[in-house]
Structure 1
Amino acid sequence: MNAHSDQIGATPSWYVIQCKGGESFRAAEHLTNQGFEVFHPVLNSQRKRQGKLTTVTEPLFPYYLFIRLDQVASDWRPIRSTRGVLRLLTFGNRPVATPDALIDALRAQPHRQEGTHTYFCAGEKVTITDGPFKDLEAIFTRCKGEERAIVLLNVLNRPQHLDLPIDTLSKV
């Protein structure tokens, strides 16, 4: 269990913590260090930074994470005073438990936690930024591995599938 599980013998439930902007990772780390059981679902996303495609880890729910507690007590000072935490989500004055089934479903989705969310979507228009087809528009079809993409380009009035480095594409 956790350091706070000796408060009462009730069945533990999941609750939602609202975090300060951009501080959900900090809040999760500090709550975990205090002995709380925390679930902070993340996904890996591809973003273009300085013209290069990089993978970044982002929260699945920006500003929120889940905490498992044995009791909803009136004294939330240890949680509220944790760095990065804004408040416990409540309905009225009472914290509302999140169904275990929701947490189980989120945990069962490995693509949500460890997979990659592609920067481009199938069917989206892209511009080729380098190579012999530079400045031409194409239709993104799919990723081919982590660094390549298949696009549909109209060449000589015929659609052709091309295999290109994904970092040579940009959104239109």
Structure 2
Amino acid sequence: MSTVSEAAWYVVQTHVNAEAKAARNLARQGFEIYIPRYLKRRSHARKIEKVAAPLFPRYLFVRVDMATQRWRSIQSTIGVSHLVANGSDPIPVQRDVLGLLKAREDERGFIKLDWRPKFSLGEKVRVLAGAFADNFGLFDGLGDRDRVAVLLDILGRKVRVSLEADVVSAA
């Protein structure tokens, strides 16, 4: 009777902002790594840019064959906090999870997030950043691309403004 061992994906928790460091060190040991990333909007010094960021901060996926690989070395890898486990037994990720994540990647390997707002027409919203930060308004529909239309009360009248969708939240 022969047993066929098969590699599975597991979750590793990393130290704060150490996903790349942990991934490099795990890859050096021969493990296959996957860090799902997306383009995050960042405002800095009056500039707005999109930067790559981990979809799950402090977490990455590692593929391990428990029967043939020295998986316990993961625990002492620089950048790694621990392998997610139930007691001392690492918990494998369901088979379709990584496939579903990879299916949402664009041509550059970034996860495409559903940017469409979850607001209803006329719902009260709050502007989080930009020239209208901390103002409240009413959701007035979708604009072009990643923008939404919001009715703001400016100088005693309703003014329709077009804003980036990610700077507006439910009030």
Question: In which range does the TM-score fall when normalised by the shorter chain?
Answer: 0.5 to 0.7
Q: Give yes or no for the alignment of 1:86 onto 2:78.
A: no
Q: List alignment gaps of at least 5 residues for structure 2.
A: none
Which amino acid letter does the alignment assign opposite residue 126 of structure 2? K
Contact 2:13-2:59 within 8 A present in 1 as well:
yes
| Aligned residue runs from structure 1 range 75-114, under 5 A | 75-76=70-71, 78-110=73-105, 113-114=110-111
Say if 1:30 and 1:117 are closer, same or farther in 2 by CA, change over 3 A.
farther
Say if 1:80 and 1:125 are closer, same or farther in 2 by CA, change over 3 A.
same
Task: Figure out how many residues of one structure are paired with residues of the other and give that number.
Answer: 157
Q: Give yes or no for the alignment of 1:61 onto 2:56.
A: yes
CA distance in 2, matches of 1:151, 1:21: 36
How big is each residue's C-alpha offset from its partner over 1:5-49, in whole Å with a ceiling of 9 and x where there is no partner?
Answer: xxx951111111111111112212322233311111112111322
Contact 1:12-1:69 within 8 A present in 2 as well:
yes
Q: Aligned residue for 1:151?
A: 150
Which amino acid letter does the alignment assign opposite residue 144 of structure 1? D
Q: List alignment gaps of at least 5 residues for structure 1.
A: 1-7
CA distance in 2, matches of 1:16, 1:135: 38
**Deviation of residue 149 (structure 1)?**
5.6
Q: Aligned residue for 1:18?
A: 13
CA distance in 2, matches of 1:48, 1:121: 23
CA distance in 2, matches of 1:82, 1:90: 16
Which amino acid letter does the alignment assign opposite residue 88 of structure 2? N
Say if 1:83 and 1:117 are closer, same or farther in 2 by CA, change over 3 A.
farther
Q: Give yes or no for the alignment of 1:43 onto 2:42.
A: no
Seq. identity, %: 29
CA distance in 1, matches of 2:6, 2:143: 45
Q: What's the TM-score, normalizing by structure 1?
A: 0.66
